[in-house]
Amino acid sequence: MSGFELSGLTASFDGERVLGPLSLDVREGERVALVGKSGAGKSTLIKLIHDRVDGHASLVPQDLGLVNGLPVFHNVFMGQLDAHPAWYNTVTLVRPFRKDKEAVKSLLRELGMVDKFWTPAASLSGGQRQRVAVARAIYRNANLLLADEPISALDGPLAHLVMKALSQRFATSVIALHDVEIALAYATRIVGIQDGQIALDESSDRLSAADIMPLY
């Protein structure tokens, strides 16, 4: 699965509708940025898409979902847990295979994190944790990327490094981004969420930051 066509997307909390009903079709090769103010419904939409594509996506959740007691290597390896039999994953916990170590190392090198290979996730900074979650999503190697604010803890150059790595690896993606300039630079399509509805849906080359600001 890479693109998708979803309709009837809704979410409610405590009986109150916070999202939808809305439809979202994403074609293969589209890079969609979800923008909108805090609380608009971006995270909820990403979670719904993830549920509806039945896990056939690489996911960077907002809470990252790292296992603090495990080193960076194992956290990244987790991206491919379901690609291996249980015995392989159990052996990897104690004595990882060389080919997996090399593959994870090369990814971490690209993200400027190779020196943290054996560092427990609990000892990482916020930006380092974010890059581990990004590495895990890349390592999973799905055809679709779903990411919720994957660069919110990164400074300018690192934010660009991560966005470039994600753009190179995933032809099709839906990424919630609070940085409008980055959204315009990396996405092919901007979907603006306001009060749980799609308030803007436009090709990014037809938009400027000023067109997006009314959403905030």
**Residue numbers at the binding site for ligand ATP (CB under 6 A):** 13, 18, 36, 38-44, 62
d(CA 169, CA 135): 11
Instruction: Please report how close the Cβ of residue 189 comes to ligand ATP at its closest, in angstroms.
Output: 18
Nearer to ligand ATP, 14 or 155 (CB): 14
Residue 120: name the closest of 72, 79, 65 by CA: 72
Instruction: Please report how close the Cβ of residue 39 comes to ligand ATP at its closest, in angstroms.
Output: 4
d(CA 27, CA 177): 19
Nearer to ligand ATP, 40 or 72 (CB): 40
**Enclosing H/E stretch for 34:** strand 31-35
Instruction: Please report how close the Cβ of residue 62 comes to ligand ATP at its closest, in angstroms.
Output: 6
Nearer to ligand ATP, 46 or 78 (CB): 46
Total residues found in the chain within this entry: 216
Instruction: Please report how close the Cβ of residue 209 comes to ligand ATP at its closest, in angstroms.
Output: 17
Residue 4: name the closest of 40, 43, 57 by CA: 57
Q: How many CA atoms lie within 13 A of 96 on its CB side?
A: 20
In this structure, are residues 134 and 165 in contact, taking their beta carbons and an 8 Å threshold?
Answer: yes
In angstroms, the Cα distances linking 160 to 96, 152, 182, 205 are 31, 12, 8, 19
Instruction: Please report how close the Cβ of residue 11 comes to ligand ATP at its closest, in angstroms.
Output: 7
Instruction: Please report how close the Cβ of residue 120 comes to ligand ATP at its closest, in angstroms.
Output: 27
d(CA 173, CA 151): 15
Nearer to ligand ATP, 108 or 190 (CB): 190
Q: Say which residues have a Cβ less than 8 Å from residue 105's Cβ, sequence separation at least 6.
A: 114, 117
Nearer to ligand ATP, 100 or 149 (CB): 149
Nearer to ligand ATP, 3 or 61 (CB): 61
